[in-house]
Structure 1
């Protein structure tokens, strides 16, 4: 199970301010880092009627993509937006590409759970052994024999009786 931490950044200024989310994954963690963005909102000191655009740069399954995720404007219903964006592969770069902000971005930082020795042992037990060779085949043959015997019995576990009606008529 992943640990959840509050995530928040503030972007401001006209100099295309940006923030890069790129934490180092600890060696003893399984699953790495994941970022989930839930909300973007303008600060109360944002300029009235100024449009603010938040852009994100992140990896897709193939390559990097830059795309706006929110357009905010103070003094109206678009001063905040609810989001549900998941970024499983850092790095993720957030930029204020238009406007002077401040823009607050809020979400969750998920950190993969630590790998314990017991879990490692369980994982090793689940992995198939490639070195079974002939011994593994013999065990499979022995397991098949009882199955064929079961097929010769009826649902009550008894061996079916042959119909001797033809012999009785003679």
Structure 2
């Protein structure tokens, strides 16, 4: 059932053609059915083989946007100069009149005739806006109908915003990214310098004239804080080494 309705709303395309000549200089396309929307797409105009070598001018008469009738030249042909011309899909909404202004013809005009059933929404829009019947459902009716749906989806996404992120302990996994500086500090705590390295640093400090603790208790605190040494025997050995440096310095 839905497919049948869709086929009815889809524009139907028909072949269009007319001939203008001396005994029939006008051709009209009227809209007799108010339930349909129609549109002409003129593709080409050409002279017949029997046309005289004179200029043949064809004009088209139709409605402007504000509903007023207007006339404009469509094509000027001459067998020895320009026997035919492509119109590239010149689209006009009926009622349309094609008229041979000069020459005796015949001038053959061909194209396509589109017909589609009006939507109720399009009828209300036409009554509320303009008396001109616009072929909204013919060439681009389906694209227009998708516009409101896309706009609604975009507004809904804008209002809702992105999906909310979980807060608290559920927001991230339990594993924490290690801080580089913190890792180095922990690495320094886990591994103390060797006794030779400490003596080398103490010797360098003494040569540079940097003050060292003068009492064993202060030296013990200094070693614990600076080199993370808690072994009493190592501290005693280092203290003896420092006193030796003091003696050599004297």
Same fold (TM over 0.5): yes
Of 47, 64, 69, the residue aligned with 1:64 is: 69
Please say if residues 11 and 17 of structure 1, whose CA atoms lie closer than 8 Å, have aligned partners that are also in contact: yes
Q: Distance between the aligned counterparts of 1:91 and 1:26, measured in 2?
A: 12
1:25 aligns with 33
Instruction: Please state if 1:2 is matched with 2:6.
Output: no
TM-score, reference length from structure 2: 0.44
Alpha-carbon distance in structure 2 between the residues aligned to 1:37 and 1:81: 11
Q: What does 1:88-103 correspond to in 2, within 5 Å?
A: 89-103=93-107
Alpha-carbon deviation of 1:56? 0.2
Cα distance, 1:50–1:77 mapped onto 2, change above 3 Å:
closer
Which residue is 2:45 aligned to?
Answer: 40
Q: What is the alpha-carbon distance in structure 2 between the residues aligned to residue 60 and residue 39 of structure 1?
A: 22
User: How far is 1:7 from its partner?
Assistant: 0.4
Could you list the runs of 4 or more consecutive aligned residues of structure 1 that deviate by over 6 angstroms after TM superposition? none
Separation in 2, partners of 1:60, 1:107: 21
Task: Return the alpha-carbon distance in structure 1 between the equivalents of residues 167 and 41 of structure 2.
Answer: 59
CA contact (8 A) 1:11 1:18 kept: yes
Q: Structure 1 residue aligned with 2:170, among 143, 158, 164?
A: 158
Higher relative contact order (CA 8 A, sep 6+): 1
Equivalent pair of 2:165/2:171 in contact (CA under 8 Å): no
Instruction: Specify every segment of 5 or more residues in structure 1 that has no aligned partner in the other structure, as ranges.
Output: 116-122, 128-142, 161-170
Structure 1 residues 16 and 53: alpha-carbon distance in aligned structure 2, compared to 1, 3 A threshold? farther
Please give the residue correspondences for 1:144-155 in structure 2 after superposition, counting only pairs within 5 Å.
Answer: 150=164, 153=167
- Following superposition of structure 1 onto structure 2, how do residues 78-93 of structure 1 map, counting pairs within 5 Å? 78-84=82-88, 85-87=90-92, 89-93=93-97
The structure whose residues are more often helix, as a share, is 2
SS in 1 for 2:31: coil
Alpha-carbon spacing, 1:77–1:153, altered in 2? closer, same or farther (3 Å):
farther
Query: How large is the Cα RMSD of the aligned pairs?
Result: 3.4
Q: TM-score by structure 1 length?
A: 0.62
Residue 164 of structure 2 aligns to a residue in which SS? Answer: helix
Cα distance in structure 2, aligned partners of 1:41 and 1:69: 12
2-side partners of 1:71 and 1:107: how far apart? 17
Alpha-carbon offset, residue 64 of structure 1: 2.1
Greater fraction of residues in strand:
1
**Per-residue deviation, 1:112:** 1.2
Q: Give the secondary structure class of the aligned counterpart of 1:37.
A: strand
CA distance in 2, matches of 1:61, 1:26: 19
Tell me if structure 2 keeps the 8 A contact 1:42–1:101. yes
